[in-house]
C-alpha cells in the first residue's frame, strides 16, 4: 500500500480518513479525487498533517479518461472508495444523481482499477486492493425484536439511496468473483463527528440549537440507529486495508442503539452544560416534531463480532465521548461553519428546507 486513490476525499468521512491516515507512520501517497458537489469543500482539507503526500484532483468518478490517467500517472495500488451521494432525503426527492454517482460511478472506478492492474508491469508483485465503503442501510429495517445486522443479513434496501449502495456493493463483489479483482467491503452505521455537512442530524441539531432555531424531529423520534464516531470508522478502514481478507465484508458500528430523540436530548444537555449563558437554555425547549419522511426505516443495529474477532478492531469512543468531541469541534470551528454557510448549494438547500424569513443556521 503505497499510492492510494481516495475518492470523495473532500467530503465528511473521506476528509477525516485522509487526516487520520496522514497522522500515522505509514509513508503513503494520497491522490484525492473529489467532484466538489455540495458536501465536498476545501475547508475539510485545511491543516493536513503532511501536505506533500496529498495530491488533490478535482474531477468526477464517472470520467473514465480521467480515472485511467490517474491510475497510470500515480501508479495506484489501492483504492478507498468513499465518493457517493449519501443523504436519504435527497434520494427521495431526486434519485437520479444517486444512480449516476453510486452505481455508474462505482462501475467506472472498478473498470479503471481492473484495466490498470491487469496490465501494469510496474505493479508486478505488488498487492493491490479495491476497498468499497458502504452502509448498513443496504440491509433494510429491523423490528425491535430482530437480531442486529450481520455480514450474512440479506439485502433489503428501502430508499433510493440504500438501493444504489446495495447495487454498488454487488458490483464490487461481482468484479472480485468474475475478474479476480482484490476487494474488501465495509458496511458502516451512521457516522458523526467533525466536518460533517449540516444537513445531517447531529450537526443540524448542534448548529440549530446554538442559533435558537427549532430542532426538527421526524415522527415520534423513536427511530433507532447505531452511531459511529468518524475517527473510529477511519481506524477500522485502515485495519481492514492492512489485515482484512480480500473478498470479505466487514460490518463497522459504534456498539450503541439510541433513539434519534435520545441523541437530540444528549446534544441539548451537552450544550446546556457547555454554553450555560446561552439565551436558549434549556435547549430541549427547541425540539419540534415534524411529519415523518416516506419509508423511514425504524431500526438499524450492527453486529461487529466479525471485525472484532478476526481483526481486533472495536470502537474506542463511547457515544457520549464522541458527541462531546463533536459539539466541542463545532464550537471551536466557527470559520468552517461560516464557509459552509456561504456555499451556494447549501443556501439552496436552506431555502428548500426552512422558512426564508428565518436566518441561516
Enumerate the active-site residues: 136-137, 161
CB atoms within 10 A of CB 253: 28
Q: Which grid cell sits at 245? A: 481478507
Q: Going by C-beta distance under 8 Å and a sequence separation of 6 or more, which residues neighbour residue 224?
A: 142, 144, 257, 258, 259, 260, 298, 299, 300, 301
How many whole angstroms separate alpha carbon 351 and alpha carbon 334?
A: 22
CA-to-CA distance for 166 and 37, rounded, in angstroms? 22
Residue 157's nearest CA partner among 135, 176, 173, 132 is: 135
DSSP strand pairing (248-252 vs 78-81): unpaired
- Locus of grid cell 453510486: 102
Task: Give, for 247, the enclosing helix (H) or strand (E).
Answer: none
Task: Find out whether 92 and 134 touch, Cβ atoms under 8 Å.
Answer: no
Torsion of CA 54, 58, 63, 66, to 10 degrees: -50
Could you tell me where the beta strands, DSSP code E, fall in 158-242?
A: 183-188, 190-192, 215-218, 227-229
8 A C-beta contact, residue 323 and residue 271: no
As beta bridge partners, residue 186 has 133, 250
Q: Are 117 and 181 in contact (CB under 8 A)?
A: yes
Amino acid at each position: 500500500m503505497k499510492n492510494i486513490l481516495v475518492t470523495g476525499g473532500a467530503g465528511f468521512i473521506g476528509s477525516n480518513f485522509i487526516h487520520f491516515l496522514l497522522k500515522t507512520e505509514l509513508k503513503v501517497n494520497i491522490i484525492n479525487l473529489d467532484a466538489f458537489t455540495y458536501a465536498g469543500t476545501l475547508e475539510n482539507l485545511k491543516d493536513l498533517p503532511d501536505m506533500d503526500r496529498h495530491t488533490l484532483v478535482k474531477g468526477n468518478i464517472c470520467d473514465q479518461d480521467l480515472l485511467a490517467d490517474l491510475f497510470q500517472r500515480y501508479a495506484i495500488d489501492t483504492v478507498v472508495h468513499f465518493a457517493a451521494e449519501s443523504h436519504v432525503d435527497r434520494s427521495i426527492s431526486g434519485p437520479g444523481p444517486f444512480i449516476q454517482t453510486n452505481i455508474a460511478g462505482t462501475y467506472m472506478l472498478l473498470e479503471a482499477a481492473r484495466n490498470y492492474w491487469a496490465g501494469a508491469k510496474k505493479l508486478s508483485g505488488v498487492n493491490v486492493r479495491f476497498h468499497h465503503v458502504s452502509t448498513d442501510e443496504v440491509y433494510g429495517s429491523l423490528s425491535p425484536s430482530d437480531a442486529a445486522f450481520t455480514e450474512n443479513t440479506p439485502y433489503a434496501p428501502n430508499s433510493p439511496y440504500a438501493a444504489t449502495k446495495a447495487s454498488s456493493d454487488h458490483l464490487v463483489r461481482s468484479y472480485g468473483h468474475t475478474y479476480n479483482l482484490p476487494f474488501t467491503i465495509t458496511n458502516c452505521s451512521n457516522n458523526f463527528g467533525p466536518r460533517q455537512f449540516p444537513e445531517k442530524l447531529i450537526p443540524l441539531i448542534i448548529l440549530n440549537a446554538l442559533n435558537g432555531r427549532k430542532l426538527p424531529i421526524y415522527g415520534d423520534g423513536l427511530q433507532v440507529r447505531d452511531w459511529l464516531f468518524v475517527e473510529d470508522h477511519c481506524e477500522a478502514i485502515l485495519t481492514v486495508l492492512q489485515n482484512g481478507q480480500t473478498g470479505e465484508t466487514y460490518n463497522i458500528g459504534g456498539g450503541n442503539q439510541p433513539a434519534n430523540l435520545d441523541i437530540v436530548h444528549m446534544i441539548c444537555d451537552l450544550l446546556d452544560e457547555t454554553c450555560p449563558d446561552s439565551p436558549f437554555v434549556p435547549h430541549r425547549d427547541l425540539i419540534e416534531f415534524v411529519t415523518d419522511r416516506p419509508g423511514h426505516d425504524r431500526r438499524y443495529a450492527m453486529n461487529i463480532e466479525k471485525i472484532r474477532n478476526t481483526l481486533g478492531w472495536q470502537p474506542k469512543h463511547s457515544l457520549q465521548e464522541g458527541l462531546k468531541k463533536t459539539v466541542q469541534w463545532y464550537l471551536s470551528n466557527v470559520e468552517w461553519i461560516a464557509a459552509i454557510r456561504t456555499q451556494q448549494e447549501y443556501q439552496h438547500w436552506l431555502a428548500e428546507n426552512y422558512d426564508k424569513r428565518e436566518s441561516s443556521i
